[in-house]
Amino acid sequence: MRVLHLLKSTKYSGAENVVLTIMSLFPEAEMIYASPDGPIRKVVEARGQKFYPLENTSVGAVRRAIRDLKPDLIHAHDFSMATCAAWAAGKTPVVAHFHNNPLWLKKVCPQSVALALSLPRIRNVISVSNSIEAEYIFRGLLKQKNTVVGNVVNCADVRQKAQETCNCAQVDLVFLGRMTDPKCPLLFCQIVQRLREKRPQITARMIGDGELTPQVKNYIQEHELEHNIELVGFQSNPYPYLNAGKIMVMPSAWEGFGLAAVEGMCLGKPVVCSGVGGLADIVDETCGAVCKTIDEYCSAILKLLQDENAYCRCSANAVGKSMQYTDMQRYTATIKSIYESTLEGSRNA
């Protein structure tokens, strides 16, 4: 079986991590990672996987990739590539994999309509949380073809990588994610600024980069937070930087699954988050906190920093709860079943 994984990003992050995990779980199949060329190529090839550089993310470019590679099945990741694959695939069956639930899912707009027009051409859908189907305005089109499959984390791998040498200092708070609107990095800075009023020596680290990086740097300078917030940019192995933090903060505007939260919990980090998307199923008061306002974030964080017993309970519970998302065998079996039903349905069409 030859499976073509289609992605639009040129950089490594959560969804890309999931794809590489899936590829590693099927050594008997030929898996090919296709996206526009960029830093992601080195990550893919370093993992021993095949990389195909797309000219761009147009239907024509995807059609040329399909013609060159002749896959048995296309696994298209996220909405734009799923839509593109639907119109480029011809008779090749398509599985769409939705890793997040953007705000446009809830309304009639060009993106939601384009997805609606494409779904009849997509044989099966994988979504990482119940919220994706529940929030999609044309959710009826997902009935009978959507399977909710939460992401899986190789905790042993995360812990091993977290032990690699890193000269980073211990900090109170850690932000891990792209510097983009969905992840709300500027809100994280505002939370740190507010915390500094009560705890002047509060320390924080931001791991990741993106289009909002210049705004984040400006905010830090304008509010004289240079001694409170450290920016370390993108890290191919973020786990030592994460492990050197005490509390993980995820103030996201939307999330599909919340993979970073599980990774942090594997390392015993309480997670203080917005509770959107899949985070609602992962984080509760036993292993962190769900917050809606800056005041709520500050209150939850200060409690964990000031009450060692509360922190230790949350840390232990975080590790325990993360185990719900580490069953690689079950995850592999579920993906394999979806692949098999997709191919069988294509043969019977």
Per-residue pLDDT of the chain (349 residues; tens, 9 = 90+): 999 999 999 988 888 989 999 999 999 999 999 999 999 999 999 999 999 999 999 999 999 999 999 999 999 999 999 999 999 999 999 999 999 888 899 999 999 999 999 999 999 999 998 889 999 999 999 988 999 998 888 898 899 999 999 889 999 999 999 999 999 999 999 999 999 999 999 999 999 999 999 999 999 999 999 999 999 999 989 999 999 999 999 999 988 888 899 999 999 999 999 999 889 989 999 999 999 999 999 999 999 999 999 999 999 999 999 998 888 999 999 999 999 999 997 777 6
Residue-number span of the structural domain to which 65 is assigned:
2-152+327-348
List residues bridging with 5 in a β-sheet.
33, 75
Are residues 263 and 339 located together in one domain of the fold? no
Are residues 162 and 141 located together in one domain of the fold? no
Q: Which tokens sit at 15?
A: 């969804």
- What is the spatial distance between Cα 3 and Cα 94, in angstroms, rounded to a whole number? 10
Are residues 332 and 213 located together in one domain of the fold? no
From the centroid of its chain, how far is CA 102?
12
Are residues 275 and 265 located together in one domain of the fold? yes
Are residues 262 and 229 located together in one domain of the fold? yes
Number of domains within the chain: 2
Strands (E), 2-105: 2-6, 30-36, 50-54, 73-77, 94-98
- What is the spatial distance between Cα 175 and Cα 232, in angstroms, rounded to a whole number? 11
Which residues, in sequence order, are CB contacts of 343 under 8 Å at separation 6+? 1, 72, 73, 93
Are residues 342 and 319 located together in one domain of the fold? no
Domain of 294, CATH number, reads: 3.40.50.2000
User: How open is the CA angle 144-112-273, to the nearest 5 degrees?
Assistant: 85
Residues making up the chain, counted from first to last: 349
Written in H, E and C, the secondary structure of 209-277 is: CCCCHHHHHHHHHHCCCCCCEEEEECCCCCHHHHHCEEEEEECCCCCCCCHHHHHHHHCCCCEEECCCC
Strands (E), the chain: 2-6, 30-36, 50-54, 73-77, 94-98, 124-127, 146-148, 171-176, 204-207, 229-233, 245-250, 271-273, 288-290
Task: Using alpha carbons, select from 169, 164, 82 the residue that is nearest to residue 123.
Answer: 82
Are residues 121 and 244 located together in one domain of the fold? no
Are residues 78 and 56 located together in one domain of the fold? yes
Are residues 82 and 200 located together in one domain of the fold? no
Q: How far is CA 247 from CA 129, 189, 202, 286, in A?
A: 24, 15, 12, 14
Are residues 25 and 57 located together in one domain of the fold? yes
Are residues 126 and 163 located together in one domain of the fold? no
List residues bridging with 176 in a β-sheet.
207
CB environment 138-153: b (16+ within 10 A), e (fewer): eeebbeebbbbbbbbb
The residue type of 246 is K
Are residues 179 and 320 located together in one domain of the fold? yes
pLDDT, position 14: 81
3-state secondary structure (DSSP) of residue 63: helix
User: Is 114 in contact with 87 (CB distance < 8 Å)?
Assistant: no
pLDDT, position 349: 63
Task: Using alpha carbons, select from 100, 103, 98 the residue that is nearest to residue 119.
Answer: 98
CB environment 227-247: b (16+ within 10 A), e (fewer): ebbbbeebbeebbbbbbbbbb
